[in-house]
Amino acid sequence: MMRTGVTTDQLEGCFERDFRFLLDTFRGLLEGLGEPLVRYLPWQGRPPDVADVTWLQDAERLMQLHSISFSLLNQAEDSASVEARRQREAVEGIGQEPGLWGHALKRMLAAGLEPARIADELALLWVEPVLTAHPTEAKRATILEHYRDLHGLLMERIHPMTPLEDRDNRDRTGRVLERIWRTGDIFLEKPDVASELRNVLYYLREVFPSAAAVTRRRLRVAWEEAGLDPATLHVMPLLSFGDWVGGDRDGHPLVTAEVTQGTLHELRLNALVGINRQLNDLAEHLSLSARLQEPPPPLVARIETLKEQLGARGLQAIERNPEEPWRQLLNLMIARLPVDVARRHALKLNEFEGSYRFADELMLDLRLLQQSLCVVGASHLGEAEVQDTLDWLRATGFHLAALDIRQNSRFHDKAVAQLLLAAGLDGTGYAEWPEERRLEFLNAELRFMRPFALSSRSIGPEADAVLGTYRVLAAHADRYGREGLGALIVSMTRGLSDLLAVYLLARETDLVTSGPDGLACKLPIVPLFETVDDLERSAGIMAAFLAHPMTRRSMAYQVGTVGQDRPMQQVMVGYSDSTKDGGILAGQWHLYHAQEALTEVGRQASVVIRFFHGRGGTISRGAGPTYRFFDALPPGSVQGAIRMTEQGETIAQKYGNLSQAAYNLELLMASAAEVSFLKERPAALEPDVASVMERLAVLSREAYEALIRDPGFMTFYSQATPIDAIEENRIGSRPSRRTGLRTLADLRAIPWVFSWSQSRFHLPGWFGVGTALETLKRTDPGVFETLRTRGMQWPFLAYVLTNVETSVNTADLQVMRQYAALVADAAVRERLMGVMEAEYERCRRLLQELFETPFAERRPLLHRSFELRAEPLRFLHRLQIELLREWRAFDRKGPAEDAALRRVMMSLNAIASGLRSTG
């Protein structure tokens, strides 16, 4: 939905113009093609009646029509946001938009921070968005490319056009829309890991280099506009990237050691082709002639050295630009890259004798190039032209993104058990050993460098999978260094032994090294705390882990890699499963409380806790406005280093084009800087606010658990939502369940949230909150009144309840009742729907009391967006319900059942387009 921060009038004016243009062009296209369904075009035609639809002929085209129409609405909203921000900055300057550099610097200076200290802190700032391995993107990559073209055409219309230019723009827009209409925009086959990797590589290679450069330039401009000396901004903050595609194997059997090896290869290959492009661009620009300025001796000497080292390649490189030594040096750098490129596309890695092996080698040559420009008085060119490449190389090296390896703790248990059996020890019951016995065994083993098994011997499926992957990582580290390798992440971390077991497994490979003080792991081990219970235990687990001798040695060993300038421990916190486990209020509060406690654990251990926030694309999975999310984090929890997942359709929404990508990267960087540097923010307004939040969390969790533990709940859920179809879906390569068990606990959070949003309950995003607030008001009206009058001044509470308000307003009671009618058992249907309706009304009423002003008045743009979407979405929901009935009526597989399922799949995608979210 539209973002706030610019004026309502600015957004509405831009939106109306762009949306009308897109819809009129689409209508003209359909009329020109003689498409009879144009009479049903949303917002311009009459709403279709489900009874009029001929299933085999009209249903699919109608869903396609609506899906594209919603995408045009989304495009208009996004483009309006971009243009309105530009208009506001043009009039008011760069410092007005919350969450961006200008605003952040103003707040820091107003708080009394000295410019020198701000510059020093910025030099240590490290932000890393991580593109995840379980995308929920419903659109095909080809269609996303067409929509990127459409955005570019809308951006052209920002500027005044001649009649001829306007006609040309309209014609090209019509052609893009025809491609979209004729292509189809959904996954008909389940994507594999390779296709997901190609999608991620597109953003890493094509979008982020330019967007990151814009973000850095905007920081420099904001710095100067704040009246600060540009010379004091000596080092840019570090913006690097992470990747889970090809590394995340938690319940994903398709991610093998071979897939991980191929992913590391592709990341290196694409990093090098991107660098090749940047060096070629520099060579085009830096055409300085030796006749007009004397090349410095170090430049001349380096050219001679590289020419000799590269032989025929070197000679060819310098002959290309005689009397242009700066270009000659760049040509030699390009010739030395270990990649073969044709027309700026990578062909293959080519690590010949004398080629660059590490990015640091290239960085030295680039710095020499930059210094030589300064010597001849062209320092502006050195800063403007070379620095962006240096900054990008510092962030991505020759690896592009750090590949994390994630696996479930239960999987590791099986691997350890198999390892013990292979060594002739009794490991059959390892998974059931009490924690004390596990720790006694692990601590004893981690004193010695003695592997249990021979590397060539098969041990068991889980052990082979883990150790095979670790050997790939070890071989990559030995050859290229550790910069391209992220962390070993342990999903469902329940105790200290879950982390120490990874040390034991790593000891079987070269991922553990032996020093005079003992063993150390080359890669960081990172817990992922996901459930409410695990979050409650997290501080104790981490205190013990940080105190462990092998952890201390490992952190010391890891200092010196990218961003690791001090002892640092990542801790990942999961927003999806904590909310699925206990409801949104309990999940958010336990996440907040855990971060407070973990920050204190790190402080006592003299270790920086680098939180890794596992946020999804919907409110029920941690999504929300970036700036408000950062502002709501516990004070002191962002210590200059943070990671955050970017998942599924949010990647295309936030980074699908340069303007949006630059804006969202700046939001990440500037918001992280602001909350990191302004550590003295008040934690809350009242001394007992924590106890009030604890009460609300307990009350909401009790209401939520009472619902999901009702004996009829799974019957209601499985019939009143399209979860059965979603589990057959083509969205993402990952299975919907971790182990295949037909239980709620085994179901992943993505399909859980997706199914509730498709049926417009949006239940995980609000259920239980109304009961908690009503109970507090009844039992302690004074505290409730304080919450009403002053509570929204606490950023955390305001953020959570505003997100709950968004969820409950996104829900549609009329549609919920229609899906509930699919439940065959009338008693179950009426009882549970009664509970949900009562909580829905209760939540709306209590939130209205807290916020006082109606939702439509306080958030008019979002309200209008909901209103625009309402009727077209209601048609799609009615259609999906009929399609579900048709598909569920089949009692066996066959072509007719496949066709029926295909139509359900199209309805899932069309509704996701209308809601702008899946899971």
Q: Which residues contact 258 (CB under 8 A, 6 or more apart)?
A: none
Nearest CA among 371, 379, 386, 356 for reference residue 278: 386
Question: Positive or negative, the Cα torsion across 252, 253, 257, 258?
Answer: negative
The helix (H) or strand (E) run that includes residue 501 is helix 496-507
Question: Quick one: CA dihedral 351, 352, 353, 354, positive or negative?
Answer: negative
Q: How far apart are CA 640 and CA 650, in angstroms?
A: 24
Region of residue 762 (left: phi > 0; alpha: psi -120 to 50; beta: else):
left
Instruction: Tell me how far CA of residue 216 lies from CA of 114, 210, 621, in angstroms.
Output: 21, 10, 30
Report the alpha-carbon distance of residue 545 to residue 609 in Å, rounded. 13
Q: DSSP secondary structure string, 604-637?
A: HTT-EEEEEEE--SSGGGT---HHHHHHTSPTT-
CA-CA distance, 95 to 88, in Å (whole number)? Answer: 10
Q: Are 47 and 871 in contact (CB under 8 A)?
A: yes
φ/ψ of residue 663, rounded to 5: -65, -45
Burial state string for 548-574 with b = 16 or more CB within 10 A and e = fewer than 16: bebbbbbbebbeebbbbbebbbbbbbb
Just list the catalytic residues.
134, 580
Strand, coil or helix: 513: strand
Write down the residue that tokens 């990578």 correspond to: 346
What is the residue whose two structure tokens read 């009503």? 774
Closest among 452, 485, 460, 453 to 470, alpha carbons compared = 485
Q: Which two tokens stand for residue 397?
A: 């090296």
Q: What sign results for the dihedral spanned by CA atoms 180, 186, 763, 406?
A: negative
What's the rounded Cα separation, in Å, for the pair 614 and 242? 13
Cα–Cα distance, 795 to 685 (Å, whole number): 10
Q: Are 520 and 556 in contact (CB under 8 A)?
A: yes
Cβ atoms of residues 316 and 335 within 8 Å: yes
Q: Dihedral angle at the C-alpha atoms of 769, 878, 917, 633, nearest 10 degrees? A: -10
